[in-house]
Structure 1
């Protein structure tokens, strides 16, 4: 398996596991387990542990836990441009650029999907690993803050972020500074100029 094939497989699995745990995810759990087992331990191990949690948890309880984690915790937002731009007009432009990038790669979103949701970003990365890697690295500070927040919350989804981190280059000085600044100051907070998208509340719940 080439590096790009490994990355594409990892990101496709991670895309599914970081999404809402619906019936489709439970039905595909065995296939996802087989695919995760073929990955390097630093990437596949956390995914297999999450799949163990998926198998043991009652579906309704896991769904409720997902909502409580990602829809009601500001620091656990899955919309990556929020970390960089907050609720500002710059975020609206970033979303439009993402959607245009995806269209070129053949990834078409439904009306309900925002292009910066982590599951969507990972799906795109699996389609075009080179460009996908660059996109994930560009959002590394937000990803790291999300990873740390999930660990603080002892969330089972923390392992998914560990696996994503394991596919990326190590944090360097400027990235560490960006993570520290983001943790201390939070995203920008301008509340105007957000068209053409109706952006979600920071906790992930549309208003």
Structure 2
């Protein structure tokens, strides 16, 4: 689904390519019919916010929002498994699914990075893509609610994903509102330092290091500067087979 490519770009670290493709992205949002007019307007508002800001300001705001602690992490398994050993196996399983479907991530990013997962789903057939989103519905609702609580325009991305998955966004958010209201969220530098002082778990095993873009047997280090935006994401007319070796 084309709209999943757009949302994956909006959720990724802000890059010049998004600013340059603003009109094309806006057209893709405006013409999609898999989300409501309300959701289309919210995504257009986010696009305008990112595109009209100075790029460095957008990047700074993005890092402050998504890269300070686990509360709003864009890594799926960060929320599901935390630092448990189950997270490593989940990574392996997801990479195996990508490889089975002929999807070569081709970037230095962990396989559960949400924008990357959305690109994968964008090349799947529609029922598979919707099911892939439905599988993480609770997490989508949590992130939508947490972002809405902070009055962040990025909440629009997760509300749109909920709708694509077949859920009513407002209802899904209301179901987790109480949980979110009771959460203690500390994004101070002191709390962040304490978080990074914890022992990091690595996900090395088999060929996973190569698949996840690491080298020399070293763990993947994810930083905002390392996030790459593949230019082919903007080519909405290209055949999915151009990036996958088999039909999904």
Query: TM-score normalised by the shorter chain: which range applies?
Result: 0.7 to 0.9
Kindly state the Cα deviation for residue 131 of structure 1 after the two structures are TM-superposed: 2.4
Q: 1:20 aligns with which of 6, 10, 13?
A: 13
Q: Over aligned residue pairs, what C-alpha RMSD do you find?
A: 3.2
Q: Out of 21-30 and 128-137, give the one that drifted further.
A: 128-137
2:204 aligned with 1:195 = yes
Which structure: greater helix fraction? 1
2:90 aligned with 1:94 = yes
User: What does residue 3 of structure 1 align with?
Assistant: none
Which has the greater radius of gyration?
A: 2
User: What does residue 123 of structure 1 align with?
Assistant: 119
Task: Mark the runs of 5 or more structure 1 residues left unpaired by the alignment.
Answer: 1-7
Q: Distance in 2 between matches of 1:56 and 1:134?
A: 34
Q: Which has the higher contact order (CA 8 A, sep 6+)?
A: 1
Q: 2:145 aligns with which of 123, 144, 148?
A: 148
Q: Out of 27-36 and 190-199, give the one that drifted further.
A: 190-199
TM (norm. structure 1) is 0.79
| Cα contact 1:77–1:204 (8 A) shared by 2 | no
User: What does residue 136 of structure 1 align with?
Assistant: 133
Q: Distance in 1 between matches of 2:96 and 2:140?
A: 22
Task: Mark the runs of 5 or more structure 2 residues left unpaired by the alignment.
Answer: 185-197, 210-218, 227-248
Q: Distance in 1 between matches of 2:154 and 2:147?
A: 7
Q: Distance in 2 between matches of 1:137 and 1:19?
A: 21
Q: Distance in 2 between matches of 1:191 and 1:56?
A: 37
Q: Out of 86-95 and 38-47, give the one that drifted further.
A: 38-47
2:73 aligned with 1:72 = no
| Cα contact 1:15–1:123 (8 A) shared by 2 | yes
Kindly state the Cα deviation for residue 35 of structure 1 after the two structures are TM-superposed: 0.6
Rate the CA distance shift 1:153–1:31 in 2: closer, same or farther, 3 A: same
Kindly state the Cα deviation for residue 138 of structure 1 after the two structures are TM-superposed: 1.5
| Cα contact 2:66–2:72 (8 A) shared by 1 | yes
Q: 1:30 aligns with which of 23, 48, 70?
A: 23
TM (norm. structure 2) is 0.67
Rate the CA distance shift 1:83–1:144 in 2: closer, same or farther, 3 A: same
Rate the CA distance shift 1:166–1:200 in 2: closer, same or farther, 3 A: farther
